[in-house]
Amino acid sequence: MQCPHCNHPIPEGSLLCMYCGLPAPESRADTHLRHEPAENAQPRDDALSLKKITAVIAKMKSLLDAGRFEPALYERMSIDLLRDYLSTKDDSGKLIFVSYEIQDSELAPYLTQDMVEKLKLYVMDAIAEK
């Protein structure tokens, strides 16, 4: 498969072009989701937003690996993106996500154990404040 933007080869299963950093054609959201009825849109919107966050974090990770991104900035921005995502969930949804779902999600290859622990502490602190 080739990148539609720069025509460089993209390895099978890769989410991003290693040269330009843009998403591979298969990693883009399906366009038919926009035409579904509103009552079915809520669960899909949640999944799509996580996919979008994963794509952004994957792009930042590829830039980090190429030496064009600061490690501290990568960690801070990734955690901020995930905090924004978690703000859309209720307390039990947050706990379930950081305790179980995050290790099995598409995000797992892009997060360090330290980042996951920081997210867990953030969720625990947010719940304790209530």
Q: State the residue range of the domain holding 72.
A: 40-129
Q: How far is CA 104 from the centre of its chain?
A: 12
In a domain, 20, yes or no: no
Q: What is the pLDDT of residues 39-77, one digit of tens each?
A: 544 554 555 588 899 999 999 999 999 999 899 999 999
Is residue 48 one of the residues assigned to a domain? yes
Entry pTM: 0.62
Please give the torsion angle defined by the CA atoms of residues 57, 67, 120 and 100, in that order, rounded to the nearest 10 degrees.
Answer: 60
Write the single-letter amino acid at 28: R
Residue 110 lies in a domain: yes
- The 10s digit of each residue's pLDDT in 85-121 is 998 899 999 999 999 999 888 999 999 999 999 999 9
Residue type present at position 44? R
Domain count, the chain: 1
Whether the CB-CB separation of 43 and 59 falls below 8 Å is answered with no
